[in-house]
Amino acid sequence: GRRPGVTVDSSKAKTSLEALKISLRQLRWKEFPFGRRLPCDIYWHGVSFHDNNIFSGQVNKFPGMMETVRKITLSRAMRTMQDLFPLEYNFYPRSWILPEELPLFVAEVRVMKDSDPSWKPTFIVKPDGGCQGDGIYLIKDPSDIRLTGSIQSRPAVVQEYICKPLLVDKLKFDIRLYVLLKSLEPLEIYIAKDGLSRFCTEPYQEPTLKNLHQVFMHLTNYSLNIHSENFIHSDSVNTGSKRTFSSILCRLSSRGADVKKLWSDIISLVIKTIIALTPELKVYYQSDIPSGKPGPTCFQILGFDILLMKNLKPMLLEVNANPSMRIEHEQELSPGVFENVPSPVDEEVKVAVIRDTLRLVDPQKKKRKDAQESPVHLYPIYFPDIFIQFHNLPDVCMKDKQHKHHSLKLSLKLKFYLKPGSCPRLEHVPESSELLLDAVPAERPEPDAPRSPEAGLPSLCLKQVFPKYAKQFNYLRIVDRVAALFIRFLGVKGTTKLGPTGFRTFVRNCKLSNSNFSMAAVDILYIDITRRWNSMGIDHKEPGMCLQAFVEAFFCLAQKKYKSLPLHEQVLSLIEFCECHLAALDEKRLVWGWG
Ligand code: ADP
């Protein structure tokens, strides 16, 4: 008969509700706008993972995503990757974190200016946690008074300003691209084929002291430019102050630009950025959804803000955990009278992104796929012509000095040899398995089966880029392995910070202390780094060492141990050293049954 539709709780969808409703209608899925007493398959949240208490199904937010992509945290994560792989991560402008790095900012700029007197930089100051251009301003020199005045009250990021952006119609614009993080473990990333280009409303000029404050010239935020009298609402996707990215690509391609190379650079930027974010996300994930306990799985649509430089190099400006999914805009009908009117450009791009995200996480498709992939488990297979050869089996029972018996858990390596010409046969299939086999969908649709809800929908607008291109990028995923060590020693589930005992155990189990590095020195390292990170005022709630502090300590230990290598090789060597000792320890524990 009819398949029951996928159920979606939209009660917390907030401003994405309209686009979600249209998507659900197109998919013919069941919406619960006021929530539901029974669990739903999917929960669509407007703000964060914690909008609802959920124990099953799927949520469209990852725990900790908002914290991870804040301006300061993102800049720190990018800095870590820039330290390890400077060439690969040159798509993020040089940034300093204020207030604590103000002296460093002043000093570095002075050195750079001294070494190149023709360098006339501009910097952009962005308050942490701000959005929509809120509180952003440009400065020409670190000694700018506004900078020193405001930073004490509001932490911020100060960043090199990209002075030569690509212009279209003499205007600066940026790109909002939608990226689906479908899964963290294993990592799965999709990019939407189309995005939005948001235009400034004053012709662009390179920054001078005179035009620094002209936001309609320098900032591409829709929320700012909408207030300009030059803002053009357009129903066409290739004119006006908000256009589709594909319309820009068409234009660039007609001018002879290498659009394929541009897309490839954008894909690489997106994958590398997500690789920089995953370590932190994994720490939040294990804290909110400990493995082995019931909990939902997560996916999330992210908004990547990208600026194209004149030479078409894409630069990352920021990542939004909650990109606007509004498909209407406010219009002033007469002075002071506003009305929400549909925005066709937004609708075209955003509905496709939400609908296709849902198609990709469709739980029924997953069930069908699982059933298709696993039928082999349903059959007892009989291989009549197999010889089994055992290799040097160790003793199974041992006595220690006190004559206590210890049993060894053996893992046997078996090699199977098939006689030439023989073929494994399916033997008798018991009744229970026959029932399960029905779960595998037939190749041809049943005569009375309803038409697939996907029939008639356009092809997916989201394209998989990871694991598709994993081979090219996996070598960058080394902080993930440091995070795995950190998570292992967190101990009590539900925390995101490592206590002093956890850090000591890490050092001891990985055999990192020696005559040159005593346990007292380990404690001092822990205290020094933890105190400094906690004084930076990001997250005081939980005491202890956060992941980024652990990463710093880890890099410190790596530099100490492998002096002459480049940083990423030092870190990699230490990771391998630690993993090797921990694997040996695990093996010992398994053998001796130490739990
Ligand atoms: P917000 O979250 O407040 O929108 P963004 O980081 O996106 O903050 O910056 C707002 C706008 O400022 C961007 O859309 C872009 O137009 C401009 N901008 C930001 N950083 C830079 C930069 N480094 N160089 C040039 N322009 C920038």
Residue 418: pLDDT above 50?
A: no
Q: Single out the residue of 22, 27, 40 nearest to residue 11, CA to CA.
A: 40
Residue 197's SS3 state is: strand
444: pLDDT confidence band, cut at 50, 70 and 90?
A: very low
107: pLDDT confidence band, cut at 50, 70 and 90?
A: very high
pLDDT of residue 440: 32
Residue 519's SS3 state is: helix
Q: Please write the tens of the pLDDT for every residue from 258-312.
A: 999 999 999 999 999 999 999 999 999 999 998 777 789 999 999 999 999 999 9
**Which of 317, 319, 324 has most ligand 1 atoms within 8 Å of its beta carbon, as the pocket-test mutant?**
317
**Structural domains of the chain, ranges and CATH numbers in brackets:** 7-91+167-367+459-472 (3.30.470.20), 94-161 (no CATH), 475-592 (1.10.238.10)
5: pLDDT confidence band, cut at 50, 70 and 90?
A: confident
Residue 124: pLDDT above 70?
A: yes
Residue 387: pLDDT above 50?
A: no
Alpha helices in 170-310 (DSSP H): 215-218, 222-225, 245-254, 259-288
**Which of 219, 224, 302 has most ligand 1 atoms within 8 Å of its beta carbon, as the pocket-test mutant?**
219
Residue 122: pLDDT above 90?
A: yes
Q: How far is the CA of 142 from the centre of ligand 1 (A)?
A: 18
Q: Is 166 in the pocket of ligand 1 (CB under 6 A)?
A: no
DSSP state of 375: G
**Number of Cβ atoms within 10 Å of the Cβ of 224:** 20
The string over 81-100, giving b where at least 16 C-beta atoms fall within 10 Å of a residue's C-beta and e elsewhere, is bbebbeebbebbbbbbbbbe
pLDDT of residue 154: 83
404: pLDDT confidence band, cut at 50, 70 and 90?
A: low
224: pLDDT confidence band, cut at 50, 70 and 90?
A: very high
pLDDT of residue 594: 57
**Per-chain mean pLDDT for the chain:** 86
Residue 542: pLDDT above 70?
A: yes
Q: What percent of the chain has pLDDT over 90?
A: 69
Q: Is 128 in the pocket of ligand 1 (CB under 6 A)?
A: no
Q: Is the CB of residue 189 less than 8 Å from the CB of residue 465?
A: yes
Residues 243-266 have a mean pLDDT of 96
pLDDT of residue 450: 52
Token digits of residue 454: 């996907």
pLDDT of residue 421: 45
Q: How far is the CA of 38 from the centre of ligand 1 (A)?
A: 43
Question: Dihedral angle at the C-alpha atoms of 376, 377, 382, 385, nearest 10 degrees?
Answer: 70
Residue 396: pLDDT above 50?
A: no
Q: Is 9 in the pocket of ligand 1 (CB under 6 A)?
A: no
Residue 417: pLDDT above 70?
A: no
- More confident position, 155 or 188: 188
Query: Lowest-confidence range among 89-98, 184-193, 384-393, 502-511?
Result: 384-393
Q: Is 538 in the pocket of ligand 1 (CB under 6 A)?
A: no
pLDDT of residue 403: 52
The string over 544-566, giving b where at least 16 C-beta atoms fall within 10 Å of a residue's C-beta and e elsewhere, is bbbbbbbbbbbbebbeebbeeee
Residue 385: pLDDT above 60?
A: no
Q: Single out the residue of 489, 474, 470 nearest to residue 286, CA to CA.
A: 489
Q: Please write the tens of the pLDDT for every residue from 18-71.
A: 999 999 999 999 999 999 999 999 999 999 999 988 999 999 999 999 999 999
Q: How far is the CA of 133 from the centre of ligand 1 (A)?
A: 7
Q: How far is CA 326 from CA 18, 147, 225, in A?
A: 7, 34, 17
- More confident position, 420 or 160: 160
Q: Please write the tens of the pLDDT for every residue from 559-572.
A: 999 998 999 999 99
Residue 395: pLDDT above 60?
A: no
Global pTM value:
0.86
**Crossing angle between the packed helical segments 547-561 and 259-288, to the nearest 10 degrees:** 110
Helices H / strands E in the chain, number of each: 18, 25
Q: How far is the CA of 239 from the centre of ligand 1 (A)?
A: 22
413: pLDDT confidence band, cut at 50, 70 and 90?
A: very low
592: pLDDT confidence band, cut at 50, 70 and 90?
A: confident
Residue 160 CA: which ligand 1 atom is closest?
23
- More confident position, 424 or 110: 110
Residues 148-175 have a mean pLDDT of 90
- In whole angstroms, give the CA distance from residue 513 to residue 538: 30
Alpha helices in 463-546 (DSSP H): 470-473, 478-488, 500-509, 519-535
